[in-house]
A and B are shown apart, each in its own frame.
Chain A
Amino acid sequence: MNCAFTNARLIDPANGLDETGNLIVENGKIFAIGKKAKAPSGVKTHDCKGMAILPGLVDMQVFTGEPGEEHRETLATASQAAAAGGVTTMITMPNTNPVIDDAALVDFISRRARDTAIVRVHPMAALTKGCDGHGMTEFGLLREAGAVAFTDGDRAVMNALTMRRALSYAGTFDALIVQHAMDQDLQSAGVMHESELATRLGLAGIPVAAETAIIDRDLRLVELTGARYHIALVSSAESVETVRAAKQKGLPVSCGVSATHLMLNQNDVENYRTFAKLSPPLRREEDRLALIAGVADGTIDVVVSGHNPQNEEAKRQPFAQAAYGTVGVETLLAGLLTLHHADGVALNRLLASVTARPAELLGLEGGTLSVGARADFAIADLEAPWVVDADSLRSKSQNAAIDKRKVQGQVLACYVDGEAVFEL
Chain B
Amino acid sequence: MTVTEIKGAFAHRDLLGIDGLSVSEITYLLNLSDNYVEQNRQIDKKTSVLRGRTQINLFFESSTRTQSSFELAGKRLGADVMNMAVKTSAVNKGETLLDTAVTLNAMNPDLLVVRHGDSGAVALLAQKMSCAVLNAGDGAHEHPTQALLDALSIRRRLGKLQGLRVAICGDITHSRVARSNLLLLNAMGAQVHLIGPQTLLPVGAEKLGARVFTDMREGLEGCDIVMMLRIQNERMEGALIPSVREYYRLYGLDREKLAYAKPDALVMHPGPMNRGVEIDSAVADDPERSLIRDQVEMGVAVRMAVLEALAANLPNNTGEAE
Interface residues of A (CB under 8 A from B): 194-205, 271-272, 313, 316-321
A sample of 28 inter-chain contacts (CB < 8 A) reads: A196-B204, A196-B207, A196-B208, A197-B204, A198-B203, A198-B204, A199-B203, A199-B204, A201-B119, A201-B141, A202-B119, A202-B120, A202-B139, A202-B141, A203-B119, A203-B120, A203-B139, A203-B141, A272-B119, A316-B98, A316-B124, A317-B96, A317-B124, A318-B116, A318-B120, A319-B119, A319-B120, A320-B139
The contact of A200 among B118, B123, B208, by CB within 8 Å, is B208
Interface majority SS (helix, strand, loop, mixed), chain B: mixed
Complex: how many Å from CA A264 to CA B49?
Answer: 48
B97 sits at the interface (CB 8 A): yes
Known: A196-B203, A198-B203, A318-B119. 20 other contacts (CB 8 A): A196-B208, A198-B204, A199-B202, A201-B120, A201-B141, A202-B119, A202-B140, A202-B142, A202-B176, A203-B140, A205-B203, A272-B124, A313-B96, A318-B97, A318-B116, A318-B118, A318-B120, A318-B124, A319-B118, A320-B118
CB distance from A71 to the nearest CB of B (A): 15
Number of B positions contacting A (CB below 8 A): 23
B179 sits at the interface (CB 8 A): yes
Contact string against A for B residues 135-179, beta-carbon threshold 8 Å, 1 for contact and 0 otherwise? 000111110000000000000000000000000000000001001
CB distance from B265 to the nearest CB of A (A): 27
B121 sits at the interface (CB 8 A): yes
Which residues between 174 and 196 of chain B lie within 8 Å of chain A, taking CB atoms?
176, 179
Interface residues of B (CB under 8 A from A): 96-98, 116, 118-121, 123-124, 138-142, 176, 179, 202-205, 207-208
Please give me the 7 A-B residue pairs with the lowest Cβ-Cβ distance, nearest first: A196-B204, A202-B141, A318-B118, A272-B120, A202-B140, A202-B119, A318-B121
Residues of chain B contacted by A203 (CB below 8 angstroms): 119-120, 139-141
| A-B interface pairs (CB < 8 A), number | 66
Q: Please determine whether A321 and B118 come into contact, CB atoms closer than 8 angstroms.
A: yes
Question: Looking across the interface, which residue of chain B has its beta carbon closest to that of A314?
Answer: B96
Residues of chain A contacted by B120 (CB below 8 angstroms): 201-203, 271-272, 318-319
Q: Please determine whether B138 and A202 come into contact, CB atoms closer than 8 angstroms.
A: yes
CB distance from B138 to the nearest CB of A (A): 7
Complex: how many Å from CA A319 to CA B141?
Answer: 12
Take A205-B203, A319-B119, A320-B139 as given contacts and tell me if A200 and B179 are in contact as well, using a CB distance cutoff of 8 Å: yes
Complex: how many Å from CA A321 to CA B88?
Answer: 12
CB distance from A412 to the nearest CB of B (A): 38
Complex: how many Å from CA A198 to CA B207?
Answer: 12
Residues of chain B contacted by A316 (CB below 8 angstroms): 96, 98, 124
Complex: how many Å from CA A321 to CA B116?
Answer: 12
CB distance from B281 to the nearest CB of A (A): 31
Question: Looking across the interface, which residue of chain B has its beta carbon closest to that of A204?
Answer: B140
Residues of chain A contacted by B203 (CB below 8 angstroms): 194-196, 198-199, 205
Residues of chain B contacted by A202 (CB below 8 angstroms): 119-120, 138-142, 176, 179
Complex: how many Å from CA A198 to CA B139?
Answer: 12
CB distance from B227 to the nearest CB of A (A): 18
The contact of A199 among B98, B118, B123, B208, by CB within 8 Å, is B208
CB distance from B285 to the nearest CB of A (A): 31
Complex: how many Å from CA A319 to CA B179?
Answer: 18
Residues of chain A contacted by B176 (CB below 8 angstroms): 202
| Most A CB within 10 A of own CB, among B119, B139, B176 | B119
Complex: how many Å from CA A318 to CA B204?
Answer: 23
Residues of chain A contacted by B208 (CB below 8 angstroms): 196, 199-200
